[in-house]
Amino acid sequence: MNTLTIDVNGYCNLGCEFCYQNLDGSELSEEEILKILDKNPNFADIEIGGGEPFLHKDIISIIKSMREKGKKLHISTNATRIPEGFLELEDRLRQGSQVQVSLHASNPELYKKITKKDLFNAVIDNIGKIKPRYSTLISSAIYQANFDDVPNIVDLSSELELPLRVSLVFPVGNGKNVDLLTAKQIGDLKSYLLFKKIEGNMIDSPIIHENNCVALQNFYGIVKRGICPADSGKLYVSPAGEEYNCEFLRG
């Protein structure tokens, strides 16, 4: 099913050293967001991102409006804070919404190195509050700085009893300034994740199933098989209201 991704704002309270987004302070108003939905009525699945969407002053109203329109939501957040009213939304609104928490380290020290903020424990605490109310998963973007921490991230996701999505950092935005994984490391990572998945861990990653991502092929040379979402109707809208087929293949 085709997906509409909307990054509602271009500001964040973290400073992740590989962030792809242009954090220029841009913001889409609720009115602008709803106009985007009305302009694209065929999209049933909406991905909400940022920046950090939970910092948007109208995020609760935006979520309510999208769910009232019958949209299924996938909300990507760093979970350093939970907006007032989010946990208290009605069951009918929460049941069609999934929360993806970005967590790129298994410990406070590495988390601070990557994000520039000492908020690891706050995120773990907030995950504990979100998980009973929403379908929840963890997402980790891997590069040289946290490659050796992957087994610990997998263990942490298992302890939290949450699915883990493992991706690779793309050389977009600040991602151009960090050291990416080598081909050998990607092969080792793939083998490890497959082994852990066979063991029963709830792991997903584009590198352990048939890759259909143009960006992965362009940036890492991972052969693309199948139709890329960017070529089959996916739409991405930036915090400035610009439309692209993919957030990682702009222009």
Q: Where are the domains of the chain?
A: 3-244
Task: Give the neighbor-by-neighbor strand order of the sheet with 45-49.
Answer: 203-204, 164-168, 135-142, 97-102, 72-77, 45-49, 3-7, 235-237, 243-244
3-244 in CATH: which number? 3.20.20.70
Its pTM stands at: 0.94
- Pairing state of beta strands 45-49 and 3-7? parallel
Per-residue confidence in pLDDT tens, the chain, 251 aa: 578 999 999 999 999 999 999 899 999 999 999 999 999 999 999 999 999 999 999 999 999 999 999 999 999 999 999 999 999 999 999 999 999 999 999 999 999 999 999 999 999 999 999 999 999 999 999 999 999 999 999 999 999 999 999 999 999 999 999 999 999 999 999 999 999 999 999 999 999 887 778 888 888 888 877 777 777 778 999 999 999 988 888 75
DSSP codes, 9-78: BS--S---TT--S--S--B--HHHHHHHHHH-TT--EEEEESS-GGGSTTHHHHHHHHHHTT-EEEEEE-
